Amino acid sequence: MSPAREKRPLVGIVDYGAGNIVSVSRGLEIAGAEARLIRRPEDLGDVELLVVPGVGAAAPAMARLEAAGLVDPIRAWLEADRWFLGICLGLQLLFDGSDEDGAETLGAIRGRTRILSGGARLPHIGWNQVERHRDHSTFEEIPDGADFYFVHSYAGRPEGPTAGELVLAETTDGSSFVSAVARGRMLGVQFHPERSGPYGLRFLGNVLDLVRRDAGIEAAGASPVEAGAPAVEVAAPAVESVV
């Protein structure tokens, strides 16, 4: 094990009263992170990966982020292409807005969050398969079509010319919806990795590996620190204008 691998990346978990903070921080700790709760912009400090969890509706979530003074810092974080993971509502907030309550959200991904359709029942609650569109390091050693846990009624679909490149995976409940996205260092999943058993913890561990390798590369100035480490899949940030 290289020192870079043992290092526990500092992960900031945005605590805005909209999600299961215990399970998200515990899951990340088990996966190898040092977790810190983010309640004010000053908490962001030397955070290496910012996680926005959350369940529920977009408008109250945006209002609470706004009240905490976190909307602009999160937008700036995304524009700077720093490591980011949105979970469930945290992914939905990346879109332009939500049809659920008309909320305008962060606007980092063009498109809106819409109600799921085609399934026998709503909310979509339970384990379902995450079918990959392309390979990505976050799904390393997780079989394609592995089951992850979902609990939601809405999902966003990226729009615009680069939409296809954003989509990492889809899931089907009657009709299909986007269940994972990635663009540069911005990651988002509609499922709950912290509640998806061994594969979920593996997913979180993979995200932390990416953060670690990225930090190692920056420190070393060039090649990956660990010999034989899979190539870091940090694509150049898309230039699509999303503002």
Partner 1 sequence: MLLRRVIPCLDVAGGRVVKGTRFIDLVDEGDPAELAERYASEGADEIVFLDISAAPEGRSTLLELVERTARRVFIPLTVGGGVRTDDEMAAVLRAGADKVSLNTAAVLDPELIARCAARFGRQAVVVAIDARRVVDERGANLESPNWEVLVRGGRDSTGLEAVEWAARAVELGAGELLVTSIDRDGTQSGFDLALLEAISARVTVPVIASGGAGEPGDFVAAVVQGGADAVLAASIFHRRQHAIEDVKAAMAAAGIPVRIAPKAA
- Shortest distance, position 7 Cβ to partner 1, whole Å: 20
The window from 72-80, 121-129, 211-219, 222-230 that contacts partner 1 (CB under 8 A) reads 121-129
φ, ψ at 85 (rounded to 5°): -130, 120
Under the binding rule (CB under 8 A), the answer on residue 56 touching partner 1 is yes
Q: Does residue 73 have a cis bond before it (omega within 30 degrees)?
A: no
Residue type, 117: S
Under the binding rule (CB under 8 A), the answer on residue 128 touching partner 1 is yes
Under the binding rule (CB under 8 A), the answer on residue 126 touching partner 1 is yes
- Shortest distance, position 38 Cβ to partner 1, whole Å: 16
Helices 197-220, 21-30: inter-axial angle, 10-degree rounding: 60
Under the binding rule (CB under 8 A), the answer on residue 173 touching partner 1 is yes
- Which residue, 153 or 162, is less far from partner 1 as judged by CB? 153
Q: Which of 161, 198, 221, 228 binds partner 1 (CB under 8 A)?
A: 198
Q: Which 3 state secondary structure label does DSSP give 58? A: helix
> Which whole-number Å values give the CA distances from 133 to 83, 113, 114, 240, in the listed order?
21, 20, 21, 20
Site map 207..236 versus partner 1, x via CB under 8 A? ------------------------------
Residues 116 and 173: their CA atoms lie apart, in Å, by 8
Under the binding rule (CB under 8 A), the answer on residue 132 touching partner 1 is no
Helices 58-67, 71-79: inter-axial angle, 10-degree rounding: 100
Residue given tokens 């299961």 in the structure block? 20
Under the binding rule (CB under 8 A), the answer on residue 127 touching partner 1 is yes
Under the binding rule (CB under 8 A), the answer on residue 40 touching partner 1 is no
Q: Which of 48, 170, 194, 214 binds partner 1 (CB under 8 A)?
A: 194
Residues recognised as catalytic: 88, 192, 194
> Which whole-number Å values give the CA distances from 95 to 62, 70, 113, 233, in the listed order?
12, 16, 7, 23
Binding site for partner 1 (CB under 8 A): 17, 20-23, 26-27, 30, 55-57, 60, 89, 119-129, 146-147, 149, 151-153, 172-173, 192, 194-202
